[in-house]
Amino acid sequence: MKRSLVLSVAILALALFANLPAAAQGFPARPVKFVVPQAPGGATDVFARYIGQKLSAKWGQPVVVENKAGAAGVVGTDAVAKSPADGYTMLVTYAGSQAVNQSLYAKLPFDSVKDFQPVATLSTTPFFLVVGPDSPIRSFKELIAAAKAKPGSITYATSGSGSINHLLSESLKMMTGIDMVHVPYKAISAAMTDVMGGQVDNAFASVPSAIQLIRGGKLRAIAVSSARRNSSAPEVPTIAELGFPSFDVSPWWGILAPAGTPRAIVDKVNADVAEVLRTPEVQAFFKDQGAEALITTPEAFLKRLEEDVQKWAKVVKSSGARVD
């Protein structure tokens, strides 16, 4: 009798332990929501929808993308921070929101690191410095020369104060000693429209946001922010090779979940995303977008996030950008 009881307890314990990974393997059992804290049309939205489709096919459950723009990404990010930590609501974002906002805002309703569980990185991509198709500025050197000839006469568009494209332009101003006027928009798509129309002189736009417009002749890229040229437009020189070797910016995109999300679910999503990113089709998609697939562990992603928060804090401080 005693031996039978011990055996029963052992069997029950094994069943309980077996159910832990089984719960992760059963995930998702219903639709998963990807919250994008930016407006439709930008790189984050493009990546979220594409990867969402691939994961939906793999999981046999819909992955619904919800754009929740506002306050440079704060609105959507906060919504995810306050969502149940069950893996069914996740954030698809990029360094420009997650790493920059921590220093940009005097008060945030969340902590960009502590209130989130990094799940999986998706890609990394540089930014093009673009002008309109009819702009008299034909090159990076001409832009710098025009800005120096008439300080304050050249304008640049961004998706908002403190955004990556804003900080890139501010970094360019400090590095080259030029003076340009900031024209902020609520979304990069609106900013690009005015650059195309000539209402604003230039802007930094992520390669995925700008590449099709460049290929269609609606924008002209005069430089790229990465240390090496981008394969989607190899004719476009880097700012580094044009005389500023320390200029090298290629932000990441990734998936985060609310802090406290079960590790088994985090590991499963990370592994599934990595499997998707390794496929030739997805690799080709990112390459066509001018991006590069980025596969990391949740730990490596966390380290990258923490380092970027510190790095961009210095840029925000130097630029004087602030949102109260």
pLDDT, tens digit, 9 for 90 and up, residues 56-97: 999 999 999 999 998 888 999 999 999 999 999 999 999 988
With left for phi above 0 and alpha for psi between -120 and 50, is residue 198 left, alpha or beta? left
Banded model confidence at residue 324, pLDDT cuts 50, 70, 90: low
In this prediction, residue 12 carries a pLDDT of 42
Average pLDDT, the chain: 90
The Cα–Cα gap between 240 and 238 comes to: 5
Q: What is the pLDDT of residues 135-188, one digit of tens each?
A: 999 999 999 999 999 999 999 999 888 888 899 999 899 999 999 999 999 888
Banded model confidence at residue 22, pLDDT cuts 50, 70, 90: low
CA distances from 243 to 130, 170, 239 (A): 18, 17, 7
The Cα–Cα gap between 203 and 242 comes to: 18
Q: For each of the domains in the chain, give its residue range(s) and CATH number, in order of start.
A: 24-125+251-319 (3.40.190.150), 127-224 (3.40.190.10)
